[in-house]
Chain A
């Protein structure tokens, strides 16, 4: 079966632009996570969904970051008024049970100029 997919794979934005990053989890996976990975660092947790409910958004760095999963499948991470410090790889992961192995997508590399 298909794994986790993310689009676009690469995104270049000018500072101040809004961007939307898409995640298609593995079909049937209840749990969905977003992570941010800066260059040379480990991934850092941003937010967690169980079905359509956003149960934890404590890792979102500012109110410019917003995530949704309206139908409990596809999720979108939106960043408003992008800043240079937002440049990173954004990873999405899904799993049946949140304490099981998380399956990661290939990531979206965001570069803010």
Chain B
């Protein structure tokens, strides 16, 4: 069984601040995939990134960056120079490399960017 923990229930920052959302996972699989999704107030889940367990290279996409560390089973997400439009609930998720499981999601972090 897999488990994803997002310990930060809610984070509130002022616009232009940097913010990091934490994600810690547990799995017995050697091959797995990690994801981040954004859920804005409209409710639809929006894909942000997918990373496989063999690729620990960090990734940057514009103001977004991800830090994957297998040694600590963490896959943290940083938003640089946050904007009001970044306000949403962010979910970290995991799926094993084989089998017929679906995604295992964390409980989500509600990010509030104040103007």
Residues of A within 8 A of B (CB): 33, 35, 40-48, 50, 55-56, 59, 89, 91, 93, 98-107
Chain B residue with minimal CB distance to A104?
B45
For the A-B complex, the count of residue pairs with Cβ-Cβ distances under 8 Å equals 59
Partner of A107, one of B43, B93, B108: B43
The answer to whether B50 touches A100, judged by C-beta atoms less than 8 angstroms apart, is yes
Flag the segment in B57-65, B69-77, B96-104 that touches A.
Answer: B96-104
Complex interface: chain A residues within 8 A of B99 (CB): 56
User: Of A45, A100, A105, which one neighbours B101 at CB under 8 angstroms?
Assistant: A45
Contact residues on B (Cβ < 8 Å of other chain), bracket: 20 to 34
B residues within 8 A CB of A46? Answer: 102
A-B CB contact pairs (8 Å), 5 listed: A33-B102, A45-B101, A99-B97, A101-B47, A101-B50
